[in-house]
Amino acid sequence: MSKRLFFLLSLVLVLSLSYSESCIGTFHHYLPAVVGSNGGLVNMTMRLLPGNGTIYVSISPRIGTTTQDSISQAIQYAYLYSSKSRECDIIVSFDTSFPTESIDGPSAGASVSAMTFAAINNLPFRSDTIITGTIEPDGSIGLVGGMYEKALASAQMGAKYFIAPKDSFLELLLLKRIESKYPIKILTAKKISEVFGFMSLNRTIADVPDDVSNRPIPQLSQYTTYNLSSFTPVARSMINSHSQILNNFPNGPEITSIHSFYENELDREQAVLNKGYVFTAANDAFLNYIDMTTISALYDSEVSISSTKREISSCLSSSVRPAFSDSNFEWVIGSDLRRSWAGQRLAKLNVTDENRKLTDELLSDYRYLIYGKAWCNISQSMLQNAPAPSSMLNESLLRDLAYEKLALAKSFDLTNEDLKSRIDSSSSLFALGRYGASLYDSQYVISMTHATSILSNSSNVSNIFDPLLSKRNYTSLWAQIYSSQAAFLLAQKDLGSAYRIVLYADDLESLNGQMLSILKPASLSNSTSALTPASVSETPDSGSDFIFNFQLLCFIGAIIILLLFVAITFYVGKKYGNKTNSSRKVYRTPKEKV
């Protein structure tokens, strides 16, 4: 072998070794997750290989697009923070023994980013800490759902630390309760750099604060695009529920800060409502009601899972559905949807020993049920404020359209639990003949899936958002309501969420047009059959009268022609019949000749 060839081979070997050294390694770490109403931990493996920066994600269990996007963004941020080129391929896989068929949601972002940071920099990564939170483009850690359930599962699995974003008052209060009962320390982080330092550089991170600062009342311009005064009473009823439970809050030293926080929330809801954002105000009051009811239950020895189930059952059974008519069908659909969601919560929760006193371990189940209770209350409020029924609509005519929409929604490979829940709701509503509400739930799944696809393939949300927002002036109730929510989110600079909501509003507007085109002929037929003879004569249908008169004239003309034909035939026969008979020859057959 020549010296030159030996030198080249040696150089290649040295370069490959140095290249591979920073791109070889396997990390295992637990990620918190929520399945149903309970928390759990799923083991994630991250493996580095020499390559060109490609990210591979396992397909079993199925990984939703939201999780895939979250993993990609988390890895990208770790590279940017480390000022390193993307020279490693990264393979991400999940433990298949985890009790779910799919994983979706962005809450793994902070944990994945911290693991990537340690991996590409050849740093240690502590195994006694569980992390939850999204990773935002600016490196901040965003809020996630189910923090209490995730923290409780982490504590029960023996974790020493739980790092979470700064969340709602209820979440932080409950996290403190976990900390007081288990040997776990709850930490909060605002920036992912804090997590990098704690997990790999032996730096400290702040403890969870004892209180939460009040949310500022947003400075909003008056929303006057649509007149949503008809929905205002529903929003006010939800705010009143918030006020009522606040007035009945238990007393105690630790309650003072809680009371103060939710008093500010009440002022915030009222301010948002006064600016015309009716859905936003109602939704904030809805969420605060759930949190406050859950906190209050911790101090009430009479509360149990079974008693709460009975309350929801009583609420659902006491609701009387009005007739489905052209004046109220959107209100009835809104009520049907929330009754369906409440029923789902009631049916899915399976807890043993429901009568025992509510404990922290049962708190997530209780909160899961309170959503159902709140939805049932809103359903009743909608029916109370709906316009009186007028011309009846035949809802069964929507069956074929509802079937098509449901089939399309079911065709998606869904991993998001909320969307799968909407599919279940739509299926149940369809079976009950509530085709309008079934259409709305199916359309929600279709719209959200469509929005996720568009957002994941767009580098600039504003480019796709602005044309859609100005596409049309909505006329349907729910399109107007959701449009106001989109406008609020847009004012808060939450472009992604605003786009999703306005896309749904736009699709609902189109869906309502389809529904009315099917229902309108039935409406005219039913209303005509319900009228008295006097009222029919007062509002004649000129088109129908013309068709009837033309048919009558044709019938009379045919009778006259027939009579003329008979008369002419009779006259001719009588005048020429004898002459014809006398001149007629008789022909015989050959047989007759013989």
The CA angle 399-400-402, to the nearest 5 degrees, is: 65
pLDDT in tens, the chain (594 residues): 444 433 333 333 333 333 445 687 788 888 887 765 566 788 889 999 888 888 888 877 778 777 888 888 888 889 888 888 888 899 988 886 766 777 777 788 899 999 999 988 989 999 999 998 888 877 888 877 778 888 888 998 899 999 988 766 677 777 888 888 899 998 988 889 999 999 999 999 877 665 667 888 999 999 988 889 999 999 999 999 999 999 988 777 667 878 888 999 999 999 999 999 999 999 999 999 998 998 888 788 778 888 889 999 999 999 899 999 999 999 999 999 999 999 999 988 776 667 667 776 778 788 889 999 999 999 999 999 999 998 999 999 999 999 999 999 999 988 788 899 999 999 999 999 999 999 999 999 999 999 888 887 766 666 666 655 555 689 999 999 999 999 999 888 888 888 899 899 999 999 999 999 999 864 444 433 333 233 333 333 434 344 444 455 555 666 666 666 656 665 555 555 544 443 333 333 333 332
160 phi and psi angles, rounded to 5 deg: -90, -30
Token pair in block for residue 390:
């007028």
Contact 505, 483 (CB under 8 A): yes
Angstrom distances, CA of residue 13 to CA of 2, 8, 17, 99: 17, 9, 6, 45
Interstrand relation of 185-188 and 161-164 (parallel, antiparallel or unpaired): parallel
Distance CA 235, CA 187 (A): 36
The residue among 458, 491, 521 that closes a domain is 521
Domain count for the chain, please give it: 2
Distance CA 370, CA 374 (A): 6
518 phi and psi angles, rounded to 5 deg: -85, -40
528 phi and psi angles, rounded to 5 deg: -65, -40
DSSP label of 398: G
Residue 420 falls within a domain, yes or no?
yes
Token pair in block for residue 172:
């932080």
CATH number of the structural domain spanning residue 75: 3.30.230.10
Give the amino acid at 369.
Answer: L
Residue 35 falls within a domain, yes or no?
yes
Domain assignment of residue 418, given as a range:
394-521
For the chain, what is the radius of gyration of the CA atoms? 35
Angstrom distances, CA of residue 369 to CA of 74, 305, 352: 34, 8, 15
Residue 190 falls within a domain, yes or no?
yes
The residue among 200, 232, 259 that closes a domain is 200
Residue 415 falls within a domain, yes or no?
yes
Residues 6+ apart with CB under 8 A from 129: 159, 160, 161, 162, 163, 198, 199
Residue 285 falls within a domain, yes or no?
no
Q: Would you tell me how many other CB atoms lie within 10 Å of the CB of residue 216?
A: 8
The residue among 521, 554, 585 that closes a domain is 521
Q: At what angle do helices 477-491 and 461-469 cross, to 10 degrees?
A: 140
CA 520, chain centre distance (Å): 29
Give the amino acid at 558.
Answer: A
Distance CA 255, CA 66 (A): 38
